Amino acid sequence: MIERLCIIGVGLIGGSIARAARAQGLCREIIGADREPDNLRKARELGAIDVAYADIREAARMADFVVIATPVGACAAIFNDLRSVWRPKAIYTDAGSTKFSVIKAARRAFGGEVPANFVPGHPVAGAEQSGIGAAVCDLYVGKRVVLTPLSNTSPAALAAVSAFWSAMGAKVSEMDVLHHDRVLAATSHLPHVLAYVLVHMLGKRDEKEEIFQYAAGGFRDFTRIASSDPKMWLDICMANRAEITPLIQQLKNELDTVLDMLDDNRSQELFDFFSCAKQARQRFLDLIENK
Amino acid sequence: MIERLCIIGVGLIGGSIARAARAQGLCREIIGADREPDNLRKARELGAIDVAYADIREAARMADFVVIATPVGACAAIFNDLRSVWRPKAIYTDAGSTKFSVIKAARRAFGGEVPANFVPGHPVAGAEQSGIGAAVCDLYVGKRVVLTPLSNTSPAALAAVSAFWSAMGAKVSEMDVLHHDRVLAATSHLPHVLAYVLVHMLGKRDEKEEIFQYAAGGFRDFTRIASSDPKMWLDICMANRAEITPLIQQLKNELDTVLDMLDDNRSQELFDFFSCAKQARQRFLDLIENK
């Protein structure tokens, strides 16, 4: 049982961790830290947290389990704050969508080596709504959580973080840091960039031609992730651009392939291309249904 | 009341028209035509149609209302078949996603002029499942149907087709042929191409690295339309490539813009870009909620 759970960043992700931890009886007290007083106020009103601090050091000073659940761009400043109150016996983890950038920020703050009791982690879950108001206690049920421990990570800390997520219903696995950032760039970051780009492009045109009134359910689902929090996705794109930019280039090449097929009237090849995509998606569907 | 409704192509779209027409009591008898005997057999077993013909001429000969609901690439051959049994007093329409290509096919078959009793139409509705098994009686409820009449289209035929769709719960509007093809290229055809391209690209990688197991709900929704019928979408892309290819080019340019922002670390601009997209999608959501 965790005595004092400290959540830094009480938005959708952090708020859902607080609610799930409470629902599963994983801790006695939940301390929230956020630089937005409004978020803290709402989190207390909703009963997601017990105590609220604007100052991260105040919040983390007495905690024995600390989760950083902010946009990844904030991690550098947070590690700097935490350094002065870091407790060797506490457990620290994060919920950032990119892992190399978070580890780099920790290295810098701690003078070269990431503390052994910090376990980098990423719950592969979310919603296009953001903020504490969207937080729910079952956000992580059945979802993957990827932990990317380093060579010096304490096995006990790793086990504690793994058990924490498992208790909230998540399926925990471990992965190499760079492999994580490469895989998620493909399955998550690239689709988000694409959705933003498409909606940005069509939105400009809609202002003049009102084309959105003729968009249907396919468009709604395809663009759902373009309603995601822009700050969070800015941070992810900047933090993981080394992996994302080659994928955007590759996608542009694939679009050229399709353009060539259209130009040259190569119907059979385009049919095979679409069929191959449909089969690949069926493989994905079979996978998530058998999870 | 339609005496004999003939549906050419008893898949998702045609089957749903049959079911809706039956549910709303719009016709006495439903005749189905399809070149796949299996589709006809299933459509009869499911009670979607009363009579089945493999031969389009047999099916349409005695009908007073004919709907072509095949992939648009089949329209040329269908008009050639229909020509010999064309009835001046019957009403003809289609449900193709592209309109210029269908009208061109009709012009060719009828020696230059589209018959006045043919009303080109497009129900902006669908599902990623295809086939008569996925057909439902409420597919068109609340959905847009765009009719693109020509200068010689009979006002009576136009009114009859409009009333037909309205009775099935659709919201009917009229549009210029080329405007239709331009707008739908943006809101429907381009997103489908993008979804196929992304899943094709990641599917190849999944075969080697099993990346799909780390894909979440955002990926599932973003790629839903990549499970659509490849033949239908091949036909649409080929029929409307004049409108689709410049949009693919434009999207590549937008991707370049994002690549530049990433390369040059222009965070504020990328944040504004994402925010602008999120706002545009909100406009779309407000629109469909107020429909």
The residue whose two tokens read 């870091």 is A86
The residue out of B132, B150, B175 marking a domain boundary is: B175
- Tell me if chain B has a CB within 8 Å of the CB of A242: no
Residue B226 lies in a domain: no
Q: Where does residue B76 fall: left (phi above 0), alpha (psi -120 to 50 degrees), or beta otherwise?
A: alpha
pLDDT in tens, A133-186: 999 999 999 999 999 999 999 999 999 999 999 999 999 999 999 999 999 999
Regarding whether A101 and A143 lie in a shared domain, the answer is: yes
Q: Average pLDDT of A55-81?
A: 97
The residue out of B118, B152, B175 marking a domain boundary is: B175
Q: How far is CA B167 from CA B90, B162, B252, in A?
A: 19, 9, 42
- Per-residue confidence at B291, pLDDT binned at 50, 70, 90? low
Regarding whether A168 and A65 lie in a shared domain, the answer is: yes
CB atoms within 10 A of CB B55: 11
Question: Is A227's CB within 8 Å of B281's CB?
Answer: yes
State the CATH number of the domain containing residue A254: 1.10.3660.10
Q: What is the pLDDT of residue A95?
A: 97
The pair of structure tokens assigned to A103 is 């580890």
Domain that holds residue B31: 2-175
B77 in helix, strand or coil? helix
State the CATH number of the domain containing residue B31: 3.40.50.720
Q: What are phi and psi of B283, to 5 degrees?
A: -60, -45
Residue B216 lies in a domain: no
Regarding whether B170 and B30 lie in a shared domain, the answer is: yes
User: With contact defined as beta carbons under 8 Å apart, do A196 and A98 qualify?
Assistant: no
- Per-residue confidence at B202, pLDDT binned at 50, 70, 90? very high
Rounded distance between C-alpha atoms, residue B175 and residue B158, angstroms: 12
* pLDDT > 90 fraction of chain A, expressed in percent and rounded: 94
Strand order from edge to edge, sheet including B51-53: B51-53, B27-33, B2-8, B65-68, B91-94, B118-119
pLDDT in tens, B214-243: 998 889 999 999 999 999 999 999 999 999
> If you measure CA to CA, which chain A residue comes closest to B208?
A183
What's the whole-number average pLDDT of chain A?
96
| Count of the separate structural domains present in chain B | 2
Regarding whether B170 and B63 lie in a shared domain, the answer is: yes
What's the whole-number average pLDDT of chain B?
96
Question: Is B216's CB within 8 Å of A188's CB?
Answer: yes
Regarding whether A207 and A147 lie in a shared domain, the answer is: no
Regarding whether A190 and A157 lie in a shared domain, the answer is: no
Q: Which residues of A touch B191 (CB under 8 A)?
A: 198, 218-219, 222-223
- Tell me if chain B has a CB within 8 Å of the CB of A278: yes
Q: Average pLDDT of A93-100?
A: 97
- Per-residue confidence at A130, pLDDT binned at 50, 70, 90? confident
Q: What is the pLDDT of residue B208?
A: 87
Q: Average pLDDT of B48-66?
A: 97
CB atoms within 10 A of CB B88: 8
Q: Average pLDDT of B273-282?
A: 97
Q: Average pLDDT of A112-137?
A: 93
Regarding whether A69 and A44 lie in a shared domain, the answer is: yes
Residue B159 lies in a domain: yes
Distance from CA of A96 to the nearest CA of B (A): 15
Please give the DSSP secondary-structure letter assigned to residue A68.
E
